[in-house]
Amino acid sequence: MKVKMLSRNPDNYVRDTKLDLQRVPRNYDPTLHPFEVPREYVRALNATKLERVFAKPFLASLDGHRDGVNCLAKHPKNLATVLSGACDGEVRIWNLTQRNCIRTIQAHEGFVRGICTRFCGTSFFTVGDDKTVKQWKMDGPGYGEEEEPLHTILGKTVYTGIDHHWKEAVFATCGQQVDIWDEQRTNPICSMTWGFDSISSVKFNPVETFLLGSCASDRNIVLYDMRQATPLKKVILDMRTNTICWNPMEAFIFTAANEDYNLYTFDMRALDTPVMVHMDHVSAVLDVDYSPTGKEFVSASFDKSIRIFPVDKSRSREVYHTKRMQHVICVKWTSDSKYIMCGSDEMNIRLWKANASEKLGVLTSREKAAKDYNQKLKEKFQHYPHIKRIARHRHLPKSIYSQIQEQRIMKEARRRKEVNRIKHSKPGSVPIVSEKKKHVVAVVK
Amino acid sequence: MTANRLAESLLALSQQEELVDLPKDYLLSGSEDEGDNDGEREHQKLLEAISSLDGKNRRKLAERSEASLKVSEFNVSSEGSGEKLVLADLLEPVKTSSSLATVKKQLNRVKSKKTVELPLNKEEIERARTPLEQEIFNLLHKNKQPVADPLLTPVEKASLQAMSLEEAKMRRAELQRARALQSYYEAKARREKKIKSKKYHKVVKKGKAKKALKEFEQLRKVNPAAALEELEKIEKARMMERMSLKHQNSGKWAKSKAIMAKYDLEARQAMQEQLAKNKELTQKLQVASESEEEEGGTEEKVEELLVPDVVNEVQMNADGPNPWMLRSCTSDTKEAATQEDPEQLPEPEAHEVSESEGEDRPVAEEEILLREFEERRSLRKRSELSQDAEPAGSQETKDSSSQEVLSELRVLSQKLKENDQSRKQKASSEGTIPQVQREEPATEEEEPLLLQRPERVQTLEELEELGKEECFQNKELPRPVLEGQQSERTPNNRPDAPKEKKKKEQMIDLQNLLTTQSPSVKSLAVPTIEELEDEEERNQRQMIKEAFAGDDVIRDFLKEKREAVEASKPKDVDLTLPGWGEWGGVGLKPSAKKRRRFLIKAPEGPPRKDKNLPNVIINEKRNIHTAAHQVRVLPYPFTHHWQFERTIQTPIGSTWNTQRAFQKLTTPKVVTKPGHIINPIKAEDVGYRSSSRSDLSVIQRNPKRITTRHKKQLKKSSVD
């Protein structure tokens, strides 16, 4: 019997000197490798199929809360640490790698309305229904110490949200007005109001750190400059906005999660028209968070699902749901852009992969090259109907699916009515309003 | 009398026993049986009644499968009547029952009237008045066949009478033995069949083959005619084998062996064996006598006499190379045809010749040819008659007749050759008339030569070559030398000069016949050579056309194209309403005027793209199957389809690009490292303020855009 062995002669591949050209073990004459397009098409098709085969995004569920999870916060310096506040006033700190709870604090009475970490990661702030703002140490208390906040600020009104400045020892709370606090003081530096309604969330701009955005239940989104005493401008939408989130890579872009099932990405310089209207949810969008790369964001909805949208696309690229996940109240994209966390009504925090079919762990260079190539192929051939169909296919819960159908019908009816109205009225008397402009009621400066 | 009867019955018994033995408990109808086995019979009846309940008639005559040792008188059966014979019945004299007495008397009376018979016979003889009838009667009488009552020939009667009781007994014993032997043989065969060992079967098969070969050799020595028949059988088997294409590597067994052959020496051997077998089977069978021909003329002659030529001819057809593949196939096939059916020979030949004649001198030549064939036919008839005249027709005469047929064929083929030859000679630019003259004596000489050629012509090629040889000789030799040469050659090629007188006569006859006709043929051939050639080519083409008649690709294609064109044509719309404004009904058609009026002519569509391309069908319709893989709408960022196409047509894989290019092409826009925190962008990151980048985990592919925006933003903020 013949024994086959690998025999490699170094003469065939080792260069004499470093300056020699590398030997090319392949003839790249295009005539020798015909049918480029069909071959790549097939590869793209296979890559797309494999992507769907390996799409298993759900990683872990962190359970321990005894009430619905109301807010989430990322640790600014540690990827593994996540903080969550529940509807029973409990705050828990989780370790994601071990997937367990490392600390539990009974922070408030009633809801924990908001939670945010300091930029240095040594402490975090919580606000609750008990009209208090509390600052806590990130590390747990030593042996024999009591679990106590570093500072407690008693306010006059209920605070519904809190966010910390990205560089300075300043934080902002919202309730009836937006207050900007110095950490060292018990009174706000300034309070800004525009209108008389409760403000549901306030967010600092991560790039232009003096800017703030807030959204109120009187359907408006207000922008502030911390250095000024008055708000900058506001935009009034059709329906109330629940949260906004700034794009960490583009200073003037933010996305608002609206009650009308849509998300609106605004350029703060031109608020009269949203840059993009993202629609796919079938119920109110409750929370939104940007990927640290600024290319995508994730939204949590009352329809028991979370969706991932590319910033420049109006349709989501991904939807995550499980049978047990109820209304998702809060969602966060981890700082390494690989994972997504969502807290929902049914007391669990779920950990998902941001890219459903991505392989976790260390990749070899060949694996990486293959991954990149496949990704490029998918991109290249994404418009081909077969590939598009496969890539877009998702399983949806029946409720969501039927609601999508229903809303499609409603939308079509509305469109038809509009078309008819235009058709049967004096030309020019009924203006044709684009989808983007439709939802913006007014911009006030 | 009883003894005689007994003997007869025994004889009958022995004859019947061979066929079928009834089951023991077959329903007995004889009244004699009632006494001894009444109960048994009842039981049988019951069984039968039960078995008939299910509708099917189970009663079947059981076949005797083995020799029964108890062949007793008690279960002797009588086949024809379906009743059992009982010995007592045979022994006892016929009881005269009162009811049968009158009938018997009548019978006796009839028997006693012998006077009636003879005149009747005579009458019959006299009735045969026509010569044919007479002949028949004569023949019958000669062979002692019964003329009037065709029951038993006198010989049979005699043999019957000659058989005594002992003989009958002996015969019975013999039969029993034979039966026993048969059953043993059957049992043995069954047993052997059950053996699963392949090796055993292989050995058995080989042994059989060897034995058969040996027998064949023996037979060939003893009885060549039978051997030839055997050979034919073998040949037929070979052909069957060849047609079924067994013993190749396509079978299940062969495939399995082929897999094993790499590792298993035995399997390899088996495969080689199989291949050898295949080769052997598919090879042309060599006729055994060929080698012997060289040895001696006399022996050869004997064999020739023994083996009828017709047999060889059959082989010739079977063994000849594929006629389709031959260059000069036309003549060959014609020859083959003539050989197959010598009776049919004249017509096609005449036809061909007359065709080839063209317009030069059609009538006269045709007449001559026709006469020639007529004469030949008459000759054949004559020989046949002579054969008939001698009823004890010997092998010799038969052979001579077949020889004759063959010789005719040869002559014809020779003629064809000569046509060729003359054509060649024309090519050598000689005058036609002297050529003809020169050739005439040659052919005269050649005819007998051909006939007396010692070798039998085995195949078509040989037949051809035979002609060619002579052509060459004729060509090479100038006229004066020719005759001498011929005379020289003649004794060489004719070692068997002393021949049967009769044969010689015939030959001379033939020679005469041919010499008279040959000039006409020659003169015909010369001016029509080219036409012949043309015809040959045409025939060849025709033949190939016929061979591939099933798949006429070109016509199919044209038809397909025509259909495609028809299908793509816009259809006219006929809006005529029959019966509208005029009478309607079965068989009534709307008037032409109306039809013209209501026929909406479809506008001519755009010209087809393949209008001027005869070998192409361009389908201008959209193909649904490919459409599923095609982009219908130009995707968003592109403004022109060629932009999009260009992006698609540029391959990015490493199959088409160098490693570096591949890496560049496939780098994603955003690279993130797992486990690294990506901080929000800062003005310093994008080089607005010259400071080191604090975060390297994000690589922006297109930082320019951001910087410009940043600038704007910063400007704005500064303004604010």
Q: According to the model, what pLDDT value does residue B124 have? A: 52
What is the per-residue pLDDT across A330-357, written as a single tens digit (0 to 9) for each? 999 999 999 999 999 999 999 999 999 9
Both tokens of residue A338? 């690989």
User: Quick check: B376 and B513 in contact, CB under 8 A?
Assistant: yes
Would you give the end-to-end CA distance of chain B in angstroms? Answer: 155
Residue A249 has what DSSP assignment? S
- Please list every residue in chain B whose beta carbon sits closer than 8 Å to the beta carbon of residue A248: 678-681
- Please list every residue in chain B whose beta carbon sits closer than 8 Å to the beta carbon of residue A385: 628-632
d(C-alpha B323, C-alpha B326), whole Å? 5
Picking from A30, A269, A383, the nearest residue to B656 by CB comes out as A30
Residue A103 has what DSSP assignment? E
Q: Burial, B689: exposed, middle or buried (Cβ in 10 Å; 0-12, 13-18, 19+)?
A: exposed
Mean pLDDT of all residues in B400-420: 54
CA distances to A51, A162, A222, A271 from A264, rounded to whole Å, are 29, 22, 14, 10
- Please list every residue in chain B whose beta carbon sits closer than 8 Å to the beta carbon of residue A372: 666-668
Q: According to the model, what pLDDT value does residue B306 have? A: 43
Instruction: Say whether pLDDT at A136 is over 60.
Output: yes
Q: According to the model, what pLDDT value does residue B158 have? A: 73
Q: According to the model, what pLDDT value does residue B146 have? A: 63
Q: Which helix (H) or strand (E) holds B224?
A: helix B224-244
Query: Which residues in A50-197 belong to E strands, given as ranges?
Result: 58-63, 69-74, 81-86, 90-95, 100-106, 112-117, 123-128, 132-137, 151-154, 161-164, 170-174, 178-182, 188-192
3-state secondary structure of B667: coil
Interface touch A77/B677, C-beta < 8 Å: yes
- Cα A355 → chain centroid: 13
What is the per-residue pLDDT across B598-634, written as a single tens digit (0 to 9) for each? 888 888 888 888 888 888 888 888 888 888 888 989 9
State percent of chain B over pLDDT 90.
9
- Residue B111 gets the label, from left (phi > 0), alpha (psi -120 to 50) or beta, of alpha
Chosen for mutation from A371, A375, A376, A389 (greatest number of chain B CBs closer than 10 Å) is A376
Both tokens of residue A96? 């994601």
State percent of chain A over pLDDT 70.
100
Can you state the percent helix, strand and coil of chain B, rounding each to 5? 65, 0, 35
Q: Is B677 on the interface with A (CB under 8 A)?
A: yes
Q: According to the model, what pLDDT value does residue B355 have? A: 43
- Please list every residue in chain B whose beta carbon sits closer than 8 Å to the beta carbon of residue A337: 672, 678
- Please list every residue in chain A whose beta carbon sits closer than 8 Å to the beta carbon of residue B662: 369, 373
Q: Can you tell me which residue has the tokens 């020679």?
A: B511
Instruction: Say whether pLDDT at B179 is over 60.
Output: yes
Q: According to the model, what pLDDT value does residue A18 have? A: 86
B140-144, B418-422, B542-546, B566-570: segment of lowest average pLDDT: B418-422
Query: B687 versus A224: which is more confidently predicted?
Result: A224
Q: What is the largest CA-CA distance in chain B?
A: 161
- Cα B197 → chain centroid: 34
Residue A374 has what DSSP assignment? H
Query: A105 CA to chain B: closest CA distance, Å?
Result: 26
Query: B138 versus A179: which is more confidently predicted?
Result: A179
Both tokens of residue A345? 């009504």
CA neighbor of B23 nearest in space, from B71, B59, B67, B52: B59
- Please list every residue in chain A whose beta carbon sits closer than 8 Å to the beta carbon of residue B672: 293, 336-338
Mean pLDDT of all residues in B152-156: 68
pTM of the model: 0.51
Chosen for mutation from B655, B657, B705 (greatest number of chain A CBs closer than 10 Å) is B655
Q: According to the model, what pLDDT value does residue B568 have? A: 85
Query: Dihedrals φ, ψ of B147, to 5°?
Result: -90, -45
Residue B27 has what DSSP assignment? P
Interaxial angle between packed helices B265-282 and B252-261, expressed in degrees from 0 to 180 and rounded to the nearest 10: 130
Interface touch A36/B656, C-beta < 8 Å: yes
Residues 6+ apart with CB under 8 A from A204: A163, A164, A165, A166, A172, A211, A212, A246
Instruction: Say whether pLDDT at A82 is over 60.
Output: yes
Residue B242 has what DSSP assignment? H
What is the per-residue pLDDT across A117-128, written as a single tens digit (0 to 9) for each? 999 999 999 999
Interface touch A207/B720, C-beta < 8 Å: no
Q: According to the model, what pLDDT value does residue B56 have? A: 53
Q: According to the model, what pLDDT value does residue A21 have? A: 81
- Cα A250 → chain centroid: 15
**Band of residue B172 on the pLDDT scale cut at 50, 70, 90:** very high
Residue A270 has what DSSP assignment? B
Would you give the end-to-end CA distance of chain A in angstroms? Answer: 88
Closest chain A residue by Cα to residue B673: A336
d(C-alpha B132, C-alpha B9), whole Å? 41
Note the residue count of chain A: 445
Question: CA angle at residue B108 from B104 to B111, to 5 degrees?
Answer: 140
Instruction: Say whether pLDDT at B117 is over 70.
Output: no
B471: number of Cβ within 10 Å: 19
Q: According to the model, what pLDDT value does residue B445 have? A: 42
Mean pLDDT of all residues in B19-29: 42
Q: Which helix (H) or strand (E) holds A200?
A: strand A199-204
A25-39, A114-128, B22-36, B277-291: segment of lowest average pLDDT: B22-36
Mean pLDDT of all residues in A270-275: 92
Q: Is B674 on the interface with A (CB under 8 A)?
A: yes
User: Quick check: B305 and B396 in contact, CB under 8 A?
Assistant: yes
Closest chain B residue by Cα to residue A210: B717
DSSP B466-517: HHHHHHHHHHHS-HHHHHHHHHHHHHHH-S--S--HHHHHHHHHHHHHHHHH
d(C-alpha B692, C-alpha B697), whole Å? 14
Both tokens of residue A247? 């794009």
Chosen for mutation from A40, A227, A291, A353 (greatest number of chain B CBs closer than 10 Å) is A40
What is the per-residue pLDDT across A351-401, written as a single tens digit (0 to 9) for each? 999 999 999 889 999 999 999 999 999 999 999 999 999 999 999 999 999
What is the per-residue pLDDT across B235-259, written as a single tens digit (0 to 9) for each? 888 788 777 767 777 777 888 888 8
Both tokens of residue A243? 């949260």
* pLDDT mean across residues, chain B: 65
Question: What's the order of all strands across the beta sheet hosting A306-310?
Answer: A285-290, A296-301, A306-310, A318-320
CA distances to B216, B238, B310, B311 from B388, rounded to whole Å, are 34, 37, 19, 22
Q: Which helix (H) or strand (E) holds A308?
A: strand A306-310
**Band of residue B373 on the pLDDT scale cut at 50, 70, 90:** low
Q: Can you tell me which residue has the tokens 């000569």?
A: B418
Q: What is the ipTM of this complex?
A: 0.89
